[in-house]
């Protein structure tokens, strides 16, 4: 398993998508979720005149990526921020626009590998799940304080869990006996709450609940709804955005925002496109691209990836 750790997903495809706007000229790209710096390292190596703004909400990820990217010197600037703060990060760096933005969403391999962060249901650990462990509610606090109705909503909407109400009721009953603090006890409860037939065919019974808790703790979907439009606003005309999602809820948000920006804003029924009302975005992928089996065999995390990419249309073309 060690050989599969920290392998950037769809790396060659990302290099291909960004090459037309980064090659042979000075350029700036934001890696909005730099993580361990795998994509960033490859992009900086491929484009010697590229400068990169590395964002991450996880201080440990920034520390590790700084070590990895140190050889690129002052071509990299690091900002501790959630990715919806991209405009503020650019202002801090004295920039008004960039040539590219990359999002590699979801929990990182580092966060999964560090048992004490509580993201994985495979090992007993404190129920934390904060991507930035310096702020916000932990998963334990959510489990121990949210009303049953709110827990049901989170499990249903963020985990797409069919047995959300049953699980929420079991959580409320169990926390009355003793508050939750570690993952093993929660996993045991989930195993008992999910019917045996579903356990046999629906994957690990804890997977959907852990996803839902992580999304709630980190506000991931609300952040993404703000971040994608902010990134598109920050792109220079002709600039490109690439987004890797790992679950349907994220991908749906990206798809909707891209579709809105790629549509004409001319009122229906008019015979010609009004000046300044044309599409603002050109889609570079047909739907969401997936990883091939060869990559999945090497890097199992690639199995669930959905990649979408687009280019900001120059005003004269809009």
Q: What is the pLDDT of residues 46-64, one digit of tens each?
A: 999 999 999 999 999 999 9
Tell me if residue 90 falls in helix, strand or coil. helix
Give the pair of three-digit tokens for residue 111: 């966060």
In the chain, CATH 1.10.150.170 sits at 115-218
If 0-12 CB within 10 Å is exposed, 13-18 middle and 19+ buried, where does residue 191 land? middle
SS3 content of the chain, % helix, strand, coil (to 5): 50, 15, 35
Q: How many CA atoms lie within 13 A of 11 on its CB side?
A: 18
What does 226-272 look like in DSSP terms, one character per residue? HHHHHHHHHEEEEEEEEEEESSHHHHHHHHHHHHHHHS--SPTT-SS
Give the pair of three-digit tokens for residue 316: 């004269």
Please check if 246 is assigned to a binding site: no
Radius of gyration of the chain (CA): 21
* H helix or E strand, kind and range, residue 82: none
Chain center to CA of 274: 36
pLDDT score of 118: 62
- Cβ atoms within 10 Å of 179's Cβ, excluding its own: 12
- Cβ atoms within 10 Å of 214's Cβ, excluding its own: 21
- Which regions in the chain score pLDDT beneath 70? 1-6, 107-118, 199-202, 315-318
Please check if 73 is assigned to a binding site: no
pLDDT score of 203: 72
| Cα 238 to Cα 263: distance, rounded to the nearest angstrom | 17
User: Strands, E, within the chain: which ranges?
Assistant: 27-31, 50-56, 76-80, 98-104, 235-245, 281-283, 306-312
pTM check: above 0.85: yes
CATH of domain 2-110+220-317: 3.40.50.150
Please check if 56 is assigned to a binding site: yes
pLDDT score of 202: 61
| Cα 240 to Cα 50: distance, rounded to the nearest angstrom | 14
Please check if 157 is assigned to a binding site: no
Please check if 104 is assigned to a binding site: yes
Which of the listed CATH numbers 3.40.640.10, 3.30.2320.50, 1.10.150.170, 1.20.120.1200 matches domain 115-218? 1.10.150.170
Q: In what order do the strands lie in the sheet with 235-245?
A: 76-80, 50-56, 27-31, 98-104, 235-245, 306-312, 281-283
Quote the crossing angle between the two packed helices 220-234 and 248-262, to the nearest 10°: 30
Please check if 38 is assigned to a binding site: yes
Q: What is the dihedral of CA 211, 55, 59, 36, to 10 degrees?
A: 70
In the chain, CATH 3.40.50.150 sits at 2-110+220-317
């Amino acid at each position: 398993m060690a050989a599969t750790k920290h392998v950037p997903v769809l790396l060659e495809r990302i290099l291909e998508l960004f090459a037309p706007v980064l090659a042979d000229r000075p350029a700036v790209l934001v890696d909005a979720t730099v993580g361990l710096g795998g994509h960033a390292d490859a992009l900086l190596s491929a484009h010697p005149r590229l400068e990169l703004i590395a964002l991450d909400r996880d201080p440990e990820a920034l520390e590790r990526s700084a070590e990895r990217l140190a050889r690129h010197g002052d071509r990299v600037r690091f900002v501790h921020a959630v990715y919806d703060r991209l405009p503020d990060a650019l202002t801090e760096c004295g920039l008004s626009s960039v040539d590219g933005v990359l999002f590699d969403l979801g929990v990182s391999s580092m966060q999964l590998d560090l048992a004490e962060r509580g993201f994985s249901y495979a090992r007993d650990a404190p129920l934390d799940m904060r991507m930035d462990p310096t702020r916000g509610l932990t998963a334990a606090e959510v489990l121990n304080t949210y009303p049953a109705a709110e827990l049901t909503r989170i499990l249903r909407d963020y985990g797409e869990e069919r047995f959300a109400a049953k699980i929420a009721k079991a959580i409320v009953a169990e926390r009355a006996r003793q508050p939750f603090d570690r993952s093993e006890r929660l996993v045991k409860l989930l195993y008992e709450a999910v019917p045996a037939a579903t356990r046999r065919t629906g994957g690990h019974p804890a997977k959907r609940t852990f996803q839902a808790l992580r999304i709630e703790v980190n506000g991931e979907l609300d952040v993404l709804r703000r971040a994608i439009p902010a990134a598109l606003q920050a792109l220079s005309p002709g600039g490109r955005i690439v987004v890797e999602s790992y679950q349907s809820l994220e991908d749906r948000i990206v798809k909707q925002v891209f579709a809105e920006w790629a549509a004409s804003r001319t009122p229906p029924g008019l015979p010609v496109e009004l000046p300044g009302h044309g599409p603002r975005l050109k889609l570079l992928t047909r739907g969401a691209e997936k990883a091939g089996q060869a990559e999945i065999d090497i890097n199992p995390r690639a199995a669930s990836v959905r990649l979408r990419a687009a280019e900001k249309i120059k005003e004269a073309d809009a």
